[in-house]
Amino acid sequence: MNIALIAHDKKKQDIIGFSTAYKHILAKHTLFATGTTGTMISESTGLSIHLFQSGPLGGDQQIGARIANNEMDMVIFFRDPLTAQPHEPDISALMRLCDVYKIPLATNMAASEIFIRALDRGDFQWREIVKANLKQDAKK
């Protein structure tokens, strides 16, 4: 599965801790991340991560494009709800795309823990069915 990892500045240590704790699960999947977050996770865990631009420089939009093309299966986004973000419209657009394209989105540690455990159990295999159906529809 393709998983995007994103974190606001004040949440970067949290996502690093999360990624370290669940490295054994994340290593089985294809990981994508915004630049700074992905670099920090990769350096801390050794996980292979495809890096996009930093969020404020367009990384959120790059992940959004993958969502719109059905190339992302899950987004784990450790948001900081107490700090204003200069690129808030990009964040809102990313979250809206997750809703439109039915992409599971966790925005905090609690939801992310539920997602990662469900991922390990195979509870997100329905995404493979969705992708297969979309490929069949595109051929028609």
In this predicted model, what pLDDT tens digit does every residue of 93-106 receive, in sequence order?
999 999 999 999 99
Question: Is residue 20 in some structural domain?
Answer: yes
CA atoms of 18 and 60, how far apart (whole Å) = 20
pLDDT for the residue 26: 98
Question: Is residue 120 in some structural domain?
Answer: no
CA atoms of 126 and 24, how far apart (whole Å) = 22
Question: Is residue 15 in some structural domain?
Answer: yes
Question: Is residue 78 in some structural domain?
Answer: yes
Mean pLDDT of 76-89: 84
User: Of 9, 14, 60, 99, which residue is the catalytic one?
Assistant: 60
pLDDT for the residue 81: 85
The rounded mean pLDDT for the chain is 92
Question: Is residue 121 in some structural domain?
Answer: no
Q: Inform me whether the pLDDT recorded for 89 exceeds 80.
A: no
92: domain CATH number is 3.40.50.1380
Query: How many Å is the maximal CA-CA distance in the chain?
Result: 47
Q: Inform me whether the pLDDT recorded for 7 exceeds 90.
A: yes
Active site residue 60: yes
Domain that holds residue 3: 1-31+55-108
pLDDT for the residue 41: 98
Question: Is residue 71 in some structural domain?
Answer: yes
Q: Inform me whether the pLDDT recorded for 21 exceeds 90.
A: yes
Q: Where are the alpha helices (DSSP H) in 30-125?
A: 35-45, 59-68, 88-100, 109-121
Domain count, the chain: 1
CA distances 19 to 14, 35, 58, 66, 118, Å, are 9, 15, 23, 21, 15
Question: Is residue 137 in some structural domain?
Answer: no
Mean pLDDT of 14-20: 98
pTM for the full model?
Answer: 0.91
Q: Give me Rg for the CA atoms of the chain.
A: 14
Q: Inform me whether the pLDDT recorded for 78 exceeds 80.
A: yes
Question: Is residue 41 in some structural domain?
Answer: no
Q: Give 108's pLDDT tier (boundaries 50, 70, 90).
A: very high
